[in-house]
Amino acid sequence: MAIKDKLSGNEAVAIAMRQIDPDVVAAFPITPSTEVPQYFSQFVANGQVHTEFVAVESEHSAMSACIGAEAAGARTMTATSSQGLALMWEMLYIAASLHLPIVMSVINRALSGPINIHNDHSDSMGARDSGWIQLYCEDNQEAYDNLIQAVRIAEHKDVQLPVMVCFDGFITSHAVENIELIEDEKVKAFVGEYKPGYHLLNKDNPIALGPLDMPAFYFEHKRAQAECMQNAKKVIMEVAQEFEKLTGRKYGFFEEYRMDDAEVAVVVLNSTAGTAKTVVNELRDQGIKAGLIKPRVFRPFPFEEIGKALSGLKAVAVMDKAESFSTAGGPLFAEIRSAMFDYAKDTKAINYIYGLGGRDVRADEIKLVYQDLIDIARTGQVKSTFNYLGIRE
Amino acid sequence: MAAYNLKTLTDKPERLTGGHRMCAGCGAPIVVRTVLRALKPEDHAVVGTATGCLEVSTCIYPYTAWKDSFIHSAFENAAATVSGAEAAYRAMSRTGKVNGTTKFIAFGGDGGTYDIGFQSLSGAMERGHDMVYVCYDNEAYMNTGIQRSSSTPKYADTTTSPAGSDIPGKVQFKKDLTMVMAAHNIPYVAQSAPFRNMRDLYEKAEKAIYTPGPAFLNVMAPCPRGWRYNTPQLMEVVRLAIDSCVWPLYEVIEGKFVLNYKPRKKIPVVDYLKPQGRFRHLFTKENEGLLEELQQEVDRRWNRLLELCGEA
Ligand SMILES: Cc1ncc(C[n+]2csc(CCOP(=O)(O)OP(=O)(O)O)c2C)c(N)n1
Ligand code: SF4
Ligand SMILES: [Mg+2]
């Protein structure tokens, strides 16, 4: 029987980590992810896990220690936010290129400057090309479920890549909500024992990791990494199916909410999708064919699937909680529109950047986005492709 | 400990094989081979290196000169990376997933240790990992073309502290990292060099590796390209550094300072500087005062060390 509880997102992922019982956790505090290593170190102190907890002196060292540990054959996890993720940046690429299946919770927070502790997605969006798989979560339940699935995805022999599980700082990390936990033994059975292929502690087969790689080989190594990312698509779906059998909760590349006959839709990540769903329901009550797509998997990017899901619509608004400073829209917009070029050419697409630095986004504001889409659907005219929502002019 | 015999010790199989691409006359591979020779043959090691000459010359895909398990991840984090592997060993020993003895050794250049990797080193030592960090100190960023580091001695000519008509090379004194590491109050800290029959370095490496907990070795590793001495003179340059007390050999065992070598006759610092092209600009009439200043600082640091070692 599943265990019903009321937990914050941070508590939920800390409990998932206790259930997974990794060999090594190396972490450094930063708001709003700090509670994760705090809760977890209490599990260590109470002997509830066998984990070696390494309280490093920085996030750069956190990721470096995770790399050393995972290379040594240990199942390894960490958590961070914002500046912590930024400080890890150099090591993120190295973790991925060494094919180390580290699993990290990224509790999304705005990047400095100016310094701001509240939620947006500038941190994980900045790491989108680092070679990590990225899973995004609407609420505490998804954060918990995705973290457990992440272990299986990362360690799969055809993938062998690190995974970040991203959820919204404070909104999800600190708000207490209902959750259904899986029994400890079932989580343990689901993630299974970690059996690394090659590792540093195998004295019978010493290996060398991290060589200087000249032009004669570097390119092939990068392509091999991209192939693992390609393989991840299949594995993510297989793991999701197995997870559904265990819990009844269904996961895919993205969630389609009332999309069946939709004419207009918003694409939005994480907790804002929850607010947007209530708007969709209201509009549906008024007879407006509104829908929503909430991407779960941003890396690998489900190019074809999301492109096809948007085909046939009249207008789509992609909402980005990160500014890319490209002057051509946020990161989510750029990629989704690129997919639409192949699969949904006739659908108009616009971008809204919203909620930077934790600016609240209310249902009435999201309604304005749908209103814009309804006008575009009716007139066939896009007045403005690149827009900001909820900003003071 | 059996009596030290270089001949029999070099019969042990090399753990850093030949064929790597470090320059002829480079001190670094000699330091590494001597340190690794101190491992018991039956013990396995996980070796980590910081980016630098040593790493880029010993592990070039698809080759490696390292017989033990090896990891390089970046420039500033050899200590953190190896500390993670050591943490894995602890956890996996608990669950019976690994057996036998594995030792953990990180090597970094002075840039990767005194400068960019200093925080990572300090953190790993403070956390008490059972590992050894070895700095092979060639007193500049050699891999990127001889730029100054905080380990570069005062007035040395480097490509970012060039000797010019107005500024005579690096204007700051060398950071005393061994003392900084001693202040970490870890079980074992030592300063060494490839000197004479390597006994000093071998025995310190053995102590560092087999003392439980963190240990730090700072080892002079001359670079003929950066220091501009005549390549075959490696061992002579080291001897001059030691006999002039520029690079004293000492250890700090559980906080207790021990002087390992006191020159019978302390030679002038200029004898050490003279064979090195990086100090050539100092040997002019107008720069005599600078040489005097260097001598005074060496004397000051040496006298302080003698006091700490109870030899004053
Ligand atoms: C973050 C970062 N900055 C700069 C570099 C470039 N870099 C590589 S090795 C090196 C100098 C290494 O100096 P040192 O540690 O003294 O080792 P040596 O080459 O002298 O043996 C530098 C500056 C780098 N690899 N990473
Ligand atoms: S440049 Fe200097 S430190 Fe680097 S390999 Fe050559 S001699 Fe050794
Ligand atoms: Mg150097």
**Residues belonging to chain A with any Cβ–Cβ distance to chain B shorter than 8 Å:** 23-24, 26, 50-52, 54-58, 60-61, 64-74, 76, 90-91, 94, 98, 200-203, 206-214, 217, 221
Q: What is the CATH number of the domain that holds B183?
A: 3.40.50.970
* Pair A91, A30 in one domain: yes
- Of A368, A316, A371, the C-alpha closest to A347 is A316
Which tokens in the block code for residue A113?
């400057």
Q: What are the start-end ranges of the H helices in chain B? A: 6-9, 27-37, 53-58, 78-94, 110, 118-127, 177-182, 199-210, 224-227, 234-243, 269-273, 288-308
Q: How close is the Cα of B152 to the center of ligand 2, in Å?
A: 15
The chain B residue lying nearest A98, using CA atoms, is: B73
- Tally the domains of chain A: 2
Q: What is the CATH number of the domain that holds A210?
A: 3.40.50.970
Question: Could you count the other beta carbons within 10 Å of the beta carbon of residue A42?
Answer: 12
Distance from CA of B294 to the nearest CA of A (A): 36
Q: What is the phi-psi region of residue B285: left when phi exceeds 0, alpha when psi lies from -120 to 50, beta otherwise?
A: alpha
- Of B38, B28, B36, the C-alpha closest to B66 is B36
Distance from CA of A206 to the nearest CA of B (A): 4
Please state the atom number of ligand 2 nearest to the C-alpha of residue B146. 1
Looking at residue B1, its pLDDT comes to: 52
* Pair A120, A200 in one domain: yes
Q: How far apart are the first and last CA of chain A?
A: 53
- Is there a contact between B88 and A206 if contact means CB atoms under 8 Å apart? no
Which tokens in the block code for residue A311?
């085909």
- Is there a contact between B88 and A203 if contact means CB atoms under 8 Å apart? no
Which structural domain, as residue segments, surrounds residue A170?
Answer: 3-247
Q: What is the pLDDT of residues A245-280, one digit of tens each?
A: 999 999 999 999 999 999 999 999 999 999 999 999
A with B: how many residue pairs have Cβ under 8 Å apart? 169
Place of tokens 């690079």: B247
Is the CB of residue A290 less than 8 Å from the CB of residue A370?
yes
Ligand 2 pocket mutation pick from B16, B21, B23 by most atoms within 8 angstroms of CB: B23
Q: Give me the residues of chain B with pLDDT under 70, please.
A: 1-2
In DSSP notation, A341-370 reads HHH-TTSEEEEEEE-GGG----HHHHHHHH
Question: Could you count the other beta carbons within 10 Å of the beta carbon of residue A363?
Answer: 12
DSSP B311: -
* Pair A338, A367 in one domain: yes
- Is there a contact between B92 and A23 if contact means CB atoms under 8 Å apart? yes
DSSP A2: P
- Is there a contact between A206 and B94 if contact means CB atoms under 8 Å apart? no
CA–CA distance, B169 with B148 (Å, rounded to integer): 9
- Is there a contact between B73 and A98 if contact means CB atoms under 8 Å apart? yes
DSSP B228: T
* Pair A212, A338 in one domain: no
Q: How close is the Cα of B141 to the center of ligand 1, in Å?
A: 6
Question: Could you count the other beta carbons within 10 Å of the beta carbon of residue B144?
Answer: 14
Chain B contact probe: residue of A21, A54, A88 with most B CBs at under 10 A: A54
Please state the atom number of ligand 2 nearest to the C-alpha of residue B52. 4
The reply to whether B156 falls in a domain is: yes
Looking at residue B99, its pLDDT comes to: 85
Looking at residue B116, its pLDDT comes to: 98
- Of B192, B207, B195, B198, the C-alpha closest to B248 is B192
Q: Output the CA torsion sign for A62, A206, B101, A157.
A: positive
Confidence of residue A208 (pLDDT cuts 50, 70, 90): very high
Q: How close is the Cα of B23 to the center of ligand 2, in Å?
A: 5
Element containing residue B44 per DSSP (H, E): strand B44-49
Which structural domain, as residue segments, surrounds residue B60?
Answer: 6-308
Report the pocket of ligand 2 as residue ranges, CB < 6 Å: B 22-23, 26, 28, 53, 57, 138, 142, 223-226
* Pair A270, A318 in one domain: yes
Looking at residue A1, its pLDDT comes to: 72
Which tokens in the block code for residue A73?
């054959």
Report the pocket of ligand 1 as residue ranges, CB < 6 Å: B 50-54, 75-76, 108-112, 138, 141-144, 149
Domain boundary among A247, A268, A291: A247
Instruction: Name the residue with the closest Cα to ligand 2, atom 6.
Output: B23
* Pair A180, A61 in one domain: yes
Q: What is the pLDDT of residues A3-59, one digit of tens each?
A: 999 999 999 999 999 999 999 999 999 999 999 999 999 999 999 999 999 999 999
Counting ligands in written order, which one lies closest to the CA of residue B144? 1
The reply to whether B66 falls in a domain is: yes
Please state the atom number of ligand 2 nearest to the C-alpha of residue B25. 7
Domain boundary among A247, A281, A310: A247
CA–CA distance, B51 with B78 (Å, rounded to integer): 8
Using a 10 angstrom Cβ sphere, with 0-12 exposed, 13-18 middle and 19 or more buried, the burial of residue A138 is buried
Which tokens in the block code for residue B193?
């060099």
Q: Output the CA torsion sign for B50, B55, B56, B61.
A: negative
Q: What is the pLDDT of residues A318-363, one digit of tens each?
A: 999 999 999 999 999 999 999 999 999 999 999 999 999 999 999 9
* Pair A240, A260 in one domain: no
Q: How close is the Cα of B55 to the center of ligand 1, in Å?
A: 10
The reply to whether B1 falls in a domain is: no
Q: What is the CATH number of the domain that holds A347?
A: 3.40.50.920
- Is there a contact between A206 and B85 if contact means CB atoms under 8 Å apart? no
* Pair A278, A371 in one domain: yes
* Pair A46, A69 in one domain: yes
- Of B127, B85, B128, the C-alpha closest to B106 is B85
* Partners of residue B91 in chain A, C-beta under 8 Å: 23-24, 50-52, 74
Q: How close is the Cα of A297 to the center of ligand 1, in Å?
A: 37
Which tokens in the block code for residue A227?
């192939």
* Pair A221, A269 in one domain: no
CA–CA distance, A335 with A46 (Å, rounded to integer): 46
As a whole number, mean pLDDT of residues A293-315 equals 98
* Partners of residue A71 in chain B, C-beta under 8 Å: 71, 84-85
Domain boundary among A186, A218, A247: A247
Looking at residue B2, its pLDDT comes to: 66
CA–CA distance, B5 with A24 (Å, rounded to integer): 41
- Is there a contact between A72 and B84 if contact means CB atoms under 8 Å apart? yes
* Pair A206, A298 in one domain: no
- Tally the domains of chain B: 1
Please state the atom number of ligand 2 nearest to the C-alpha of residue B28. 8
* Pair A220, A286 in one domain: no
CA–CA distance, A208 with A91 (Å, rounded to integer): 18
Question: Could you count the other beta carbons within 10 Å of the beta carbon of residue A348?
Answer: 19
- Is there a contact between A74 and B92 if contact means CB atoms under 8 Å apart? yes
